[in-house]
Amino acid sequence: MSDTAVAGERVELAADFVARFADFWSAPAPGRLDALLAPEVRLVAPLTPTTRTLADGKRAFASLLRLSPDLTAEVHSWGATPAGVMIDFTLNGSVSGVGLRWRAVDRIALRDDGLASERVSHFDSLPLLLTALRHPRTWPRFLYSQAKRLG
């Protein structure tokens, strides 16, 4: 098989993943992560614990949704990489009635079956922390989530 054919297959794999990613974020739920993540998957993001399995990722995501039950995301752009895909998106939600919005880029390694074996999320967490500090009603939920993260 030529390098061009392999590259074309990787782009198709990335495009399919991005479609599933966007669908997931339209109505996120821990049980829906099965459509995106491999059983052994490393998940890294600011303000959240690093996890190494789908089961642990589901638990961490459930905690995130308890903090912000209305969390959704909108994909802006993406690009295939040799290992998988990069996705640029904006997350929207609220904590205790305080609106939050932040831009992120996820670097995702994909297996040949289209499931992610690694996701590293990149975003500036300082605006989220400052928003939480400015709104005392968010403190209980935010502090609880950070205590869980720290173990």
CATH number of the domain at 110, please. 3.10.450.50
The structural domain count of the chain equals: 1
Q: Give the per-residue pLDDT at 145.
A: 61
For residue 117, the one-letter residue type is S
Show the tokens assigned to 66: 């308890």
d(CA 149, CA 44): 12
Vertex 34: Cα angle to 142 and 5 (nearest 5): 120
**SS3 of 106, please?**
strand
Task: Domain of residue 64: give its range.
Answer: 3-150
The pLDDT value recorded for residue 120 is 98
Looking at residue 95, its pLDDT comes to 81
pLDDT score of 1: 44
The b/e string for 111-128 (b: 16+ C-beta within 10 A; e otherwise) is eeebbbbbbebebeeeeb
Residues in the chain with pLDDT values less than 70: 1-6, 135, 137-151
Taken in order 11, 17, 21, 22, the sign of the CA dihedral is: positive
pTM as predicted:
0.86
Sheet with 116-122, strands from edge to edge, namely 37-44, 116-122, 98-110, 84-95, 72-80
Angstrom distance (rounded) from CA 138 to CA 67: 9
- Relative to beta strand 72-80, strand 98-110 is unpaired
Cα 51 from Cα 46, distance rounded (Å): 12
